[in-house]
Amino acid sequence: MKLDGKVAVVTGGARGNGLASALALAREGADIALLDICRDIDTVPYPLSDQAKLDDAVQQIKALGQNAIGVACDVRFEADVIAAVQRVLDEFGHVDILVNNAGVTSLTAVVDMPEEEWDNLVDTHLKGAFLCSKHVLRHMIGQHSGKVVNIGSVGSFKGFGLGAHYSAAKHGMLGFTKSLAMEVADHNINVNAVCPGTVWTDMMIGLVDSLGMDQEEAQEQFTMDHLMNADHPVTSEDVANAVLWLCTDDSRNTTGFALGVDSGWLAH
């Protein structure tokens, strides 16, 4: 298997794209640390994962025959991240892969947006990626190898009405990806981004519920720019396959790159 003996940290790993990515890495032989917030954020209009969800995700990895731990960690806070990375090192001794996936969303006009809503969203995506990279990379640099994958979005390239905070954070993820790739290339560490289109995860289901919209109609609306939707909607497994490729040595000469899993949305 391509990731035998490797250890992967996946943030926001209790469900959705994070869990699918963790399962894909585990199927290739990686042991997994899932970091998740395990509580709600009051400016996010839908429930986040709780401890039971994280425990269940850990069991799903273990059922594949890999070691796994779940760590409650809010990636917005450095003390949480330091403690979580230490826990992973105590448990596994090393870290080879970091997937910065934790994310939240909401739809609010800039003129109506409370400062906390901006901060909570931007900090989860962008500051979280910075903090986790900072504390994991120190170990990757010491071992002269590693893979970092940041989860961007179509919103890394396009504006979203009522999603200025999300689009700004996701644009920022790309600047961070490219800059970090330059910083750590000499240490044999690849840093890339995966940019999904719309995936009907709990994030989208929760957002649509909070707006009182019909799920089916909303799904059609949010995926109308996917070119291949009629045959195959974008799934978390599609995202996971892209993450997996960027975490193996099959992509060893790919760094500072943004890989779209957007059903051609960005082509038009």
Ligand X SMILES: NC(=O)c1ccc[n+]([C@@H]2O[C@H](COP(=O)([O-])OP(=O)(O)OC[C@H]3O[C@@H](n4cnc5c(N)ncnc54)[C@H](O)[C@@H]3O)[C@@H](O)[C@H]2O)c1
Catalytic center residues: 166
Cβ-contact 16, 202 below 8 angstroms: yes
Q: Minimum CB separation from ligand X for residue 49, in Å? A: 3
* 151: enclosing H helix or E strand: strand 146-151
Nearer to ligand X, 111 or 267 (CB): 267
Q: Minimum CB separation from ligand X for residue 112, in Å? A: 21
Nearer to ligand X, 104 or 148 (CB): 104
85 vs 90: CA distance, rounded Å: 9
Nearer to ligand X, 101 or 190 (CB): 101
Cβ-contact 16, 201 below 8 angstroms: yes
Q: Minimum CB separation from ligand X for residue 85, in Å? A: 13
Instruction: Strand 146-151: give its sheet, edge to edge.
Output: 68-72, 31-36, 7-11, 97-100, 146-151, 189-196, 258-261
Q: For the chain, what is the total number of helices (H) and then of strands (E)? A: 9, 7
Which class for 213: exposed (0-12), middle (13-18), buried (19 or more C-beta within 10 A)? middle
Q: Minimum CB separation from ligand X for residue 28, in Å? A: 20
Nearer to ligand X, 3 or 131 (CB): 131
Binding site for ligand X (CB under 6 A): 11-12, 14-18, 36-37, 48-49, 73-76, 101-104, 124-125, 128, 151, 153, 196, 198-199, 201-204
Q: Minimum CB separation from ligand X for residue 125, in Å? A: 6
Residue 155: closest CA among 130, 133, 126: 126
Residue with tokens 């109308």: 224
Residue with tokens 């996936």: 101
**Torsion region of 28: left, alpha or beta (phi above 0 gives left; psi -120 to 50 gives alpha):** alpha
Nearer to ligand X, 145 or 241 (CB): 241
**Torsion region of 105: left, alpha or beta (phi above 0 gives left; psi -120 to 50 gives alpha):** beta
